Amino acid sequence: MMIFLFMVPLLFGLITLPMGQAEAYLGDRTLKYGMQGYDVQQLQKNLNYLGYQSGTTDGKFGWQTLNAVKEFQGSNGLKVDGIVGKATANLLIKQVSGSSTYRPRTTPVAEVTTSRGAIPLSRSDLYDLARVVYGEARGESFEGQVAVAAVVLNRVISGQFGRTIRDVIFQPWAFTAVHDGQFYLQPDNSAIRAVDAAVKGWDPTSGALYYWNPKTATSKWIWSRPISLKIGNHVFAP
């Protein structure tokens, strides 16, 4: 547990959002050397995640970011010009978030065992879990966000849905955010803190394996599950 407490700030430092920057998302505009913005910061974070060292995630497209973009383009058969247009942005997003089989070039820097059970979690696992929470539950209460993270962890522990965080997240049609693309968004600090709380042992659902929004759920099967509690807009079931 002490290892986890030491390593989590590394994750938090990677994805803390800046204040006051325009919220253009990666792929919304063509990015070039000298530009600044939230989308540049997304670019830097995703490059670093994949092992292309773009330096500090400060939202400023400098020389190190330019070189990282060129390295990414060259490694993936793209035109090597250091300009992040649609082709480069889309492939970058796909490799970070859109494929269940893709793995970053670098080995995760550390793994931890959580208080919820023997689950080895890498820094990228925590990042992906925060993406799920943000995509599925932003706008919910903090408890509701922790509950979503807890369900993912409960599924890993159960072994019924896959044995890793990515197996569970990318199980076909398991999470709406993966299907509709909201998983691709950068998680905010609330989602990160919710993951931290869930990994440390808080499970508001008491072991639930399913949740859904009763206002939008269309699956007849899901309604066959016995509802155990409701948190915000979601109901939960074992």
Pairwise CA distance, residues 189 & 36, whole Å? 21
In the CATH scheme, what is the code of domain 2-98? 1.10.101.10
pLDDT at residue 105 is higher than 60? no
Q: Within its chain, how far is the Cα of 215 from the centroid?
A: 25
Residue 122 main-chain phi, psi, to 5 deg: -85, 170
| Class of residue 53 by CB neighbours under 10 A (exposed 0-12, middle 13-18, buried 19+) | middle
> Which of 37-41, 63-67, 82-86, 211-215 is predicted least confidently?
211-215
Buried b (16+ CB within 10 A) or exposed e, 59-95: bbbbeebbebbbbbbeeeebeeebbbeeebbebbbeb
Q: What is the pLDDT of residues 130-159, one digit of tens each?
A: 999 999 998 899 999 999 999 999 999 888
pLDDT at residue 83 is higher than 70? yes
Name the superfamily (CATH) of residues 111-237.
Answer: Cell wall hydrolase SleB, domain 1 (1.10.10.2520)
Could you state, in order of their start, the residue ranges of all structural domains in the chain? 2-98, 111-237
| Class of residue 41 by CB neighbours under 10 A (exposed 0-12, middle 13-18, buried 19+) | buried
Does this model's pTM top 0.85? My answer is no
- The mean predicted confidence, pLDDT, of the chain is 78
Would you place residue 43 in the very low, low, confident or very high pLDDT band (cuts 50, 70, 90)?
very high
pLDDT at residue 174 is higher than 90? no
